[in-house]
Amino acid sequence: MKRKDKRNSLREGVFSLIFLLSTLLLSAQNVTVRGTVTDETGETVIGATVIVEGNAAQGTTTDYDGNYVLNNVPANGNLVFSYVGMESQIVPVNGRATINVTMASDTELLQEVVVTALGIQRQSKTLTYAAETVGGDKVADVKSVNVINSLQGKSAGLVITPNSTGAGGASKILLRGNKSINGNNQPLIVVDGVPLMNTTNGQVSSNWGGERDGGDAMSTINPDDIASISILKGASAAALYGAVAANGAIMITTKSAQSGKARIQFSSNTTIETPMVLPKFQTTYGASADNLTSWGSKLSTPSKNYVKDYFQMGYTLNNSISISGGSDVMQGYLSYGNITSTGITPKNDFKSHTFNSKVAFNLFNKALEVDFSARYVTQDVKNGAASGFLFNPLTGAYLFARGADWDGYKNEFEKWDITRNINTQNLINIQEQYQNPYWMVNRMVPHSKRDRFEFGGGAKWNILENLNIAARLKYERSEERFVNNLYASSFRYPMGRMKDERYWGHQYYGDLLLNYNTNLTDDITLATTVGTSFTDYRAENVGLWAEGEQAKIADGKVTGNIWFPNVFIPTNFYSNMASQGYSHKRLNSVFGTAQIGLFEKAYIDVTARNDWSSALAYTPNISFFYPSIGGNILLNELMNMGDNVNLLKLRASYSIVGNDIPVYLTNLRYTLKGGGVIEAPSSAPFKDLKPEKTHSKEIGIDGTFFRNRMNVNLTLYRTNTINQFFSIASPYPTGLRNRYINAGDVQNQGVEATVSYITEFTPDFNWATNLNFSYNDNKIIKLTDELKDGASLAGYGGAQMKLVEGGSYGDLYVKYLEKDDKGALKLNKDGLPIVSGQDDFMIGNLNAKIHLGWSNTFNYKDVTLSFLIDGKIGGKALSMTEATLDGWGVSERSGKARDEGGVVVNGTKVDAQAYYETVGAKNFNTNYPAAEYVYNATNFRMREISLGYTFRKLINNSSDLSLSLIGRNLFFIYKDAPMDPDVSASINNGWQGVDIFALPTTRSFGLNVKINF
């Protein structure tokens, strides 16, 4: 036995030596490798990349016959074969001189998974409606403080208009136009399948402005936490969410940990901001006799441009770090993000901190999956901008009299008042809409402190391989404290004013889903989900307000209200005014969806949902039912269309969804006022209230061509929203002011198209381009017979957004300069133009019908250049700012008119001051001819640009460092309006396209750093 063991050992040693020598021999020599690359059908693949693994510089591409030749290939090395739209392959050489490869289509591209309503995942080829997925990197590379703004121009049919309030402000989001006249027009925001509480408190609702911007939920999301965003554009796509998703949905999927070793990601984004476009001012004519306006005589030396001096360079630091990892049993994800932003106006600061954690467990051999998540966000906003005339330092900065002592008022915005023993505002001729801007940012400081808490969890029991039951529960709470104390000598407040308001929002959401997927036959598949959900939302607010004259005691009686100036505590006021609000709404639902697949060539989708809303209490309509149906056909599966057609899908869908309605309309409440006074409601209870309903029809075609190099999507849609909600005047004998009705029909129809293409010039150089286009035509089919003259949705002094049957949502009606039959201006006895008495001339629509976006990305080895151009064609923009600059004599045009001896009217020159004081505006109450200040809103801009380089494998194979120079809103390629026409005074209905001393859009550029290890 010992002799045999020795022989075996000797034999094994010899074989090992031979193997070692042969391995060394192979590794010591290089070979020439040639071969042919074909696809699954046997067709040759032209332009496939063949490189030596680990050496990207040593490679080649296949010729027109699919052949390749590669010299000096290590005999024991590997070759990497790749081609756009096909699965890459790594093939060992093993000393061979000929290697032929058959490449398969990349099924992941054809079977892209899209997150749909309720977080249900579907293959994109099975969808029967329009949906688009945007990768998380698209919003994390060139960041915006509000993450939704990073989607501007990146999806057809998605229109985003940021508020003119700077960091921390809300943004108006529209998908396929405005549908509701008085209701909500924004899409539902969903995070990881759960609707997000999206309260938007304190929005501008008048041209005098002054209201705060309470922000929105999107501004609380860390862009580095986002894995992907699915945009469900139509009612059909979001039908499963029922009454809260008539306007589509934006589905955000956040990052989760994967099993494996811990992974750390760090991102730092630093940008500086400057105003993108400012009004043009005259600097040659000085102050009037009243030291208020600038209609004075010519200055001996031009004054400086005070506005450029007022605005400063802003900066934003946006940092984020995340840690993830775990085992097959437990995975965790933890992230922290912070934003520090200093605005372009003095003393404007924004700070935000976001903490996010997720943990998941796979128990009992993955039979039970459990996850928990928690998120906390805190924001602090000081001196946030506010559109409008009041409480807006921009009015003082823009209207400051030319030639006056700007530096003196800047450096000494307050002076000691020896008679009062306090500092008071330093400015001559203080007006309601005109105060020292430096006093305002130091002594009239609006301050918001916001906190948001989210806790949630879910569990899924995999009963069978194709059957599971899942449950989710989430609680959200938002808190905000808004303080806006005004120091003594602020206009109207000689002793100052105290204002302290607090807001709370609470939302509970829960759902239970039963999911079942099966093959009914070899050729028919079924995917079903049935479930139930509830949403319970409460909002509360309280406020303290106190103002008045100096408090004194005479004969035992108190007169006035304030004991000491600038002491902002309730006990300093003899009496305080208080306000309190509360609302509570609950929505209970049952729903179901089924998708039937036929031979993997066609799919049919049906959904049904029934909602019970507490807002419908005291009405016979206690619930409402929403169905939808859709289907598609994969033409490329029905017939052989050749190698260049990878997917060609026709789809169509129809749905009915609702738009939830306000609470407490069906049984109006009495109000307890101060002093124990009980006030009766002024409106009649709406006992037959119905929710708005949107009927949506959609057809489309999706195609993938040239081995997945080109993608084409085209959608045609029409929506009709009926049962619009109106408040109209009640007959006088009823003793009520208003009553509510359901009426009207608003129609939106249009087209959305997207085309993308990838070109691979060389193995190291490629170009990806994407063009998106949307057209939306809005029409008010019907209002109500009780509003024969239409209804005004918003007023802007000499203009209003008016709804008229046969017109469109956003039609702008204006006052104008009257003309005679020959087109000449009518003049009064002083030879000045006559302003119309009514704002009844429809000059255009505030909404553009066409929106476009064109993105491009060039990759050369580890260098990446990307840019995005977007814009809109059509629409109008109104600037009350320009009208006021004219009325106060500070605009460039008013200066030029004086240089030229006046303004030519009907061939005769009219005094410039008299003309512009007639045509321009003096304050928010001016009924000026707004037609003179309406501009075409067509514009195109360089929205984003990024140039970066990635350093690979710095520490290990998974450690990369990316450095990018980034820019946003760099310049306009074309613009007609004197301001940014994509302006929004508020996210309220009817306030987009209106500029009333809005904060200028900022141009930003800086550096983005990303590290993975």
Work out whether the CA dihedral 611, 613, 618, 621 comes out positive or negative.
Answer: negative
786-842 pLDDT, tens digit per residue, is 888 888 888 888 999 999 999 999 999 999 999 999 889 999 999 999 999 999 999
Q: Point out which residues pair with 260 in neighbouring strands.
A: 326
Tell me the C-alpha to C-alpha distance, in Å, between residue 464 and each of 458, 460, 461, 467, 787: 18, 12, 9, 5, 59
Region 247-274 average pLDDT:
89
754-783 pLDDT, tens digit per residue, is 999 999 888 889 999 999 999 999 999 999
> How many degrees, rounded to 5, is the angle at CA 132 between CA 128 and CA 137?
155
Region 113-118 average pLDDT:
82
- Where residue 465 falls among pLDDT bands split at 50, 70, 90? confident
In degrees and rounded to multiples of 5, residue 884 shows phi and psi of -75, -35
Which own/partner contact pairs does 820-829 have at CB distance under 8 Å and 24+ positions apart?
824/906, 825/905, 825/906, 827/905, 827/906
59-96 pLDDT, tens digit per residue, is 787 876 788 999 889 888 899 888 766 778 889 998 89
Per-residue pLDDT for 109 more than 60?
no
262-314 pLDDT, tens digit per residue, is 889 999 999 999 999 999 999 999 999 888 999 999 999 999 999 999 999 99
- Where residue 735 falls among pLDDT bands split at 50, 70, 90? low
Region 597-616 average pLDDT:
94
Q: What is the pLDDT of residue 85?
A: 64
Tell me the C-alpha to C-alpha distance, in Å, between residue 389 and each of 205, 392, 435, 884, 932: 12, 6, 11, 10, 20
Structure letter (DSSP) for residue 10: H
> Cα separation of 462 and 366, whole Å?
8
Count of CB atoms within 10 A of residue 622's CB?
A: 12
Helix axes 912-919, 892-899, angle to 10 degrees: 150
- Where residue 41 falls among pLDDT bands split at 50, 70, 90? low
Q: What is the pLDDT of residue 591?
A: 95
481-506 pLDDT, tens digit per residue, is 999 999 999 999 999 999 999 999 99
Q: What is the pLDDT of residue 971?
A: 96
pTM for the model: 0.88
Nearby residues of 305 by Cβ (< 8 Å), 6 or more positions away: 281, 283
> How many degrees, rounded to 5, is the angle at CA 441 between CA 440 and CA 444?
50
More confident residue, 603 or 119: 603
> Cα separation of 88 and 103, whole Å?
8
Per-residue pLDDT for 874 more than 90?
yes
- Burial label for 261, CB within 10 Å (0-12, 13-18, 19+), is exposed
403-457 pLDDT, tens digit per residue, is 999 999 999 999 999 999 999 999 999 998 899 999 999 999 999 999 999 999 9
Q: What is the pLDDT of residue 26?
A: 43
Q: What is the pLDDT of residue 427?
A: 94
Q: What is the pLDDT of residue 732?
A: 58
Nearby residues of 595 by Cβ (< 8 Å), 6 or more positions away: 122, 126, 526, 527, 528, 603, 604, 605
Region 955-963 average pLDDT:
82
Nearby residues of 188 by Cβ (< 8 Å), 6 or more positions away: 195, 238, 241, 244, 245, 247, 248, 249, 250
Q: What is the pLDDT of residue 4?
A: 45
Which of 872, 877, 875, 917 is CA-nearest to residue 894? Answer: 917
For residue 871, what are its two tokens? Answer: 């814009």
Residue-wise DSSP of 680-710: --SB---TT---EEEEEEEEEEEEEETTTTE
Nearby residues of 893 by Cβ (< 8 Å), 6 or more positions away: 280, 886
Region 38-49 average pLDDT:
75
Residue-wise DSSP of 492-555: TBTT-EEEEEEEEEEEEEEEEEEEEEEESSSSEEEEEEEEEEEEEEEEEEEEEEEE-SB-EEET
Per-residue pLDDT for 7 more than 50?
no
Per-residue pLDDT for 203 more than 50?
yes
